[in-house]
């Protein structure tokens, strides 16, 4: 699973938490991992963080550009939200996905956070 998560060819990564009314929020994100945890980075105060603090359940769909109809789907819960290492993490993700040394889309005054997700279920059809 780690190799699939970190593959630069896995071009579509969709993150799905639940909105307050129970509907899904679907957002593309860059993902990584820390041990067995799936991670992603976002700006502090965004809707993603607010939704996760209210309901930590998420689903992530990762699609390989070579096999767009065979996603890896991970369901789990956010177990930690931290600012520790978030600036270094977003720069590492920018290097992986954009080949940029520094994340180029940072807004003035923006604070970054890392969300850590404990996978509870993963499905993949190798077809």
* Domains of the chain, start order: 2-122 (2.30.110.10)
* Per-residue pLDDT in tens (0 to 9) along the chain, 127 residues: 444 444 455 455 555 666 778 777 778 889 999 999 999 999 999 988 998 998 899 888 888 888 888 888 899 999 999 999 999 999 999 999 999 999 999 999 999 999 999 999 999 877 6
Q: Is the dihedral of CA 35, 40, 43, 45 positive or negative?
A: negative
**The pTM is what?**
0.82
């Amino acid at each position: 699973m780690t190799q699939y998560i970190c593959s630069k060819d896995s071009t579509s990564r969709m993150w799905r938490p639940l909105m307050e009314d129970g509907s899904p929020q679907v957002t593309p994100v860059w993902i990584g991992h820390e041990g067995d945890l799936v991670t992603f980075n976002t700006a502090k105060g965004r809707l993603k963080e607010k939704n996760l603090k209210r309901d930590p359940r998420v689903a992530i769909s990762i699609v390989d550009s070579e096999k767009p109809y065979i996603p890896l789907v991970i369901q789990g819960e956010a177990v930690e939200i931290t600012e520790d290492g978030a600036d270094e993490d977003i720069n590492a993700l920018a290097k992986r996905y954009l080949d940029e040394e520094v994340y180029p889309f940072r807004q003035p005054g923006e604070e970054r956070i890392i969300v850590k997700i404990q996978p509870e279920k993963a499905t993949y059809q190798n077809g």
